[in-house]
Chains A and B, each alone.
Chain A
Amino acid sequence: MPFPPPPGTFEIDFHGIDLIRSRDCVIFGKGPAHNVAVDDNLIAGGWPGGQGAQWVASEADEPTVTYSSGLFGGFLIWGSDESADQYTAMTGNQLVYGHAVMMTGRAVISTSSYERYTYESRIGGGPLVPLIYTAQQTLYFSLRGLWTYEDELVLSGSPLQPARLTGVVCQVPKIINEFFLGLQTRL
């Protein structure tokens, strides 16, 4: 359909609005979200928005998470040091207070926090082999808690295999979406 549409027709296809992706994790459909404490590893290493997180024991009476190692509790909405937070009251806020917001359940998001290369090529020392995402692929958390369609618990020979489903691909990374991965979570 040409734009503007020919006279006499009301057929307009907007092809979507311009989706602003100014954060690591952009939320289109919101799932349940709650406050969690983050462990020392997360505080020391920081994390991007969309990072997968799993539960960890804590001496405090607070639900506490660390980086996912293929298991899950949910994903952290905001990164610990995103460029969108600079020069605002959010700068370093989560690290200082040791807390983050974790989303669970069903959500529709677009994120830059996903594995770009195959597990084998990342640990093999050879050339990096890109992962090819397709719509409706099932997703898991990788051994470092990023979204991937590879079951890294199986690939690494972990006794915890197989990995549990964490989502499906809605939209593959491409130029028009700034190479963000669109996905529907099933956490």
Chain B
Amino acid sequence: MELPRTRDVITQVKGQTFPVGLSTNLTQLGWAGGQGVLWIDSPYDVFTVDFSDGRPAGFLLWGSNELADQYTAYTGNQPLYNFAVLCYGLWLISTSTYERYTYASRTSNGPLVPIVYNPSDRLLFSLRGIYTNEDEWTLSGDPRAPNRFYVGSVMEVPGSNNNNFLSLQTTM
């Protein structure tokens, strides 16, 4: 049947959720639904997250300013109140929040080279916390390489039949 994809993350099977506080980076810059995050310490007794650098705590279910939230009571709600919904465990989702282009092409001045996803590809978070099948720790020369923190695998590759959303199974 037709799957309406009206948000950044469409949930097909729900895993676990937990409300978390947000770093200043997240509240100031905003984020897309599906954004990968990691834990950071906070001066308050609040479990707090920031953009992932390749290490996973989970992903944020709703973006900070999604189109579907406009003209509703949800507009800007999360950055204002400094909270978001963290998702972890086993989920089946379809999301528009994934790396479109190779790390090498994004960090050079050459043309952007699309990433080719295949079913069952293992997924990591990129250096900015977005799903990718590339190990950006290795590609960037990060001393923590290789990144073994796999966060999921591809179910359905992006295409015109699914509004170019990436469907995946999370394992974080």
- A38 lies within 8 A of chain B by Cβ: no
Known contacts A29-B18, A106-B16, A184-B88, A168 near B39 by CB under 8 Å: yes
**In contact, B89 and A106 (Cβ under 8 angstroms):** yes
**In contact, A108 and B80 (Cβ under 8 angstroms):** no
Partner pick for B47 among A18, A108, A134, CB 8 A cutoff: A108
Partner pick for A19 among B18, B43, B45, B55, CB 8 A cutoff: B45
**In contact, B16 and A135 (Cβ under 8 angstroms):** no
Number of residue pairs across A and B with beta carbons under 8 Å?
64
Known contacts A105-B89, A184-B57, A136 near B45 by CB under 8 Å: no
- B129 lies within 8 A of chain A by Cβ: no
Interface extent on A, as a size class? 20 to 34
- A10 lies within 8 A of chain B by Cβ: yes
The interface on chain B, measured as residues whose beta carbon lies within 8 A of the other chain's beta carbons, has a size of 24
Partner pick for A172 among B16, B41, B80, B89, CB 8 A cutoff: B41
**Which residues of A (1-19) have their CB < 8 Å from a CB of B?**
10-16, 18-19
**In contact, B16 and A134 (Cβ under 8 angstroms):** no
**In contact, B89 and A135 (Cβ under 8 angstroms):** no
**In contact, B44 and A176 (Cβ under 8 angstroms):** yes
- A117 lies within 8 A of chain B by Cβ: no
Beyond A168-B39, A171-B47, A177-B45, 14 additional pairs, beta carbon < 8 A: A10-B80, A15-B44, A16-B21, A16-B45, A19-B45, A29-B16, A135-B39, A168-B55, A169-B39, A170-B39, A170-B47, A170-B57, A171-B39, A171-B42
Chain B residues with CB under 8 Å of chain A are 15-18, 21, 38-48, 55, 57-58, 80-82, 88-89
Closest 5 CB pairs of A and B: A16-B46, A15-B44, A106-B89, A29-B18, A135-B39
A-B contact pairs, 17 of them (CB 8 A): A15-B21, A16-B21, A16-B44, A29-B17, A106-B15, A106-B16, A108-B47, A134-B41, A135-B41, A136-B39, A169-B39, A170-B57, A171-B41, A182-B47, A184-B57, A184-B58, A184-B88
